[in-house]
Amino acid sequence: MWSEISKKISSGDIKTLARAISLVENEVEGFEDFLLSLEITSNPKIIGITGPPGAGKSTLTDALIGSLVNDGKKVAVLCVDPSSPFNLGALLGDRIRMSEWYDNPNVYIRSLASRGSMGGLHPRIMEIADVIKAANYDYIIIETVGVGQSEIEIAGLADATIVVLVPESGDEIQTMKAGLMEIADIFVVNKSDRPGADSFVNNLRLMLAPAFQHKKFEIPIVKTSASNKEGIDELKAKIMICLQQEQQERKLFLAAEKAYQLIRAHRMKDIDKSDLKDKIAEQGNEFNLYAFVRSFTIKSPF
């Protein structure tokens, strides 16, 4: 059964692809067997787009889709939206900004809920990306929620990570810069038609100067105005250069990060926060956090 689904996905059956993603997203029984049956014959590059809320990530993604499609490429987009507090579903804010691609056969857009993940991604984002890889797309764009400093998980998944900022990000970047320096392959200063854009770019370049000493390649800074489709071709050119650079160490890091996340998820699958809350309630006034945690981390010899 699973191999048949995998073949349909490889043949370009969009409905089967959508159902398969739901299967993995909701961890339906048998989804791990399905992942083992995946036939991934292509190697699409993953482009991660991250940055603080309001930086224009969705508009930039929309413009980048258009540029890639004009080159005859097939593009899949995973938009990680904030979760509804009631049903944990995606609020679909990102897809509204990409409505012109719904009926384009070369574009597939899927919204995913972050489901409380602190890294700005869906807990099963790696597996979902692999399902899309089996569908023979040329590029997969993953847009994160936009939660700031903790949003570095994308670096463990993307072949090229774009950090989007705006000219007003001066104070904000001070608190995020350590993480951003580590994960960014390209910086984009969006909404660069606003006052102060050139000054911000210069300050950003000065701020990043110490980081360049430890990197083999200098981090490009690209000015864009996504709503006006300005700077998109330059950005695409920088992305292509980044994807072509041989970074064996990064490939090993990506593989190790993916393996680590999957192993962690597997080992934690029998731990549920609701069950933990009930067990803590049973402890009453005698509850000791560290003794409680040890009961889960030390295996019984019997």
Residue 68 pLDDT grade (very low, low, confident, very high; cuts 50, 70, 90): very high
What does DSSP assign to residue 29?
T
- Which spans in 51-107 are helix H? 57-70, 93-96
Q: How far apart are CA 161 and CA 47, in angstroms?
A: 6
Q: What is the mean pLDDT of residues 140-156?
A: 69
Q: Which residue has the higher pLDDT, 179 or 220?
A: 220
pLDDT, position 179: 59
Topology, domain 40-264: Rossmann fold (3.40.50)
Q: Does residue 156 have a pLDDT over 90?
A: no
Q: Does residue 10 have a pLDDT over 50?
A: yes
Q: How many helices (H) and strands (E) does the chain have?
A: 12, 7
Q: Does residue 89 have a pLDDT over 50?
A: no
Decide if 140 contacts 47 (C-beta within 8 A): yes
* Largest Cα span, the chain: 68
Q: Which residue has the higher pLDDT, 187 or 147?
A: 187
Adjacency order of strands within the sheet including 75-81: 107-113, 75-81, 139-143, 45-50, 160-165, 186-189, 221-223
pLDDT, position 253: 73
Contacts of 17 (CB under 8 A, 6+ apart): 9, 108, 131, 132, 135
Q: Does residue 175 have a pLDDT over 50?
A: yes
The 10s digit of each residue's pLDDT in 251-292 is 677 678 778 877 887 788 788 888 898 989 988 888 888 888
Q: Which residue has the higher pLDDT, 246 or 138?
A: 138
Looking up tokens 């089996």 gives 134
Query: What is the DSSP track for 119-142?
Result: TSS-TTHHHHHHHHHTTT-SEEEE
Query: What is the DSSP track for 158-212?
Result: -SEEEEEE-GGGHHHHHHHHHHHHHH-SEEEE-STTSTTHHHHHHHHHHHHHHHH
pLDDT, position 2: 80
| Domain boundaries defined on the chain | 1-39, 40-264
- The helix-helix angle for 14-25 and 2-10 (nearest 10°) equals 130
The 10s digit of each residue's pLDDT in 25-53 is 888 888 888 988 888 878 899 999 988 88
Residue 118 pLDDT grade (very low, low, confident, very high; cuts 50, 70, 90): very low
pLDDT, position 153: 67
230 has which bridge partners?
Answer: 225
Distances (CA, A) of 31 to 1, 3, 19, 196: 12, 12, 11, 50
Decide if 161 contacts 183 (C-beta within 8 A): yes
pTM score: 0.80
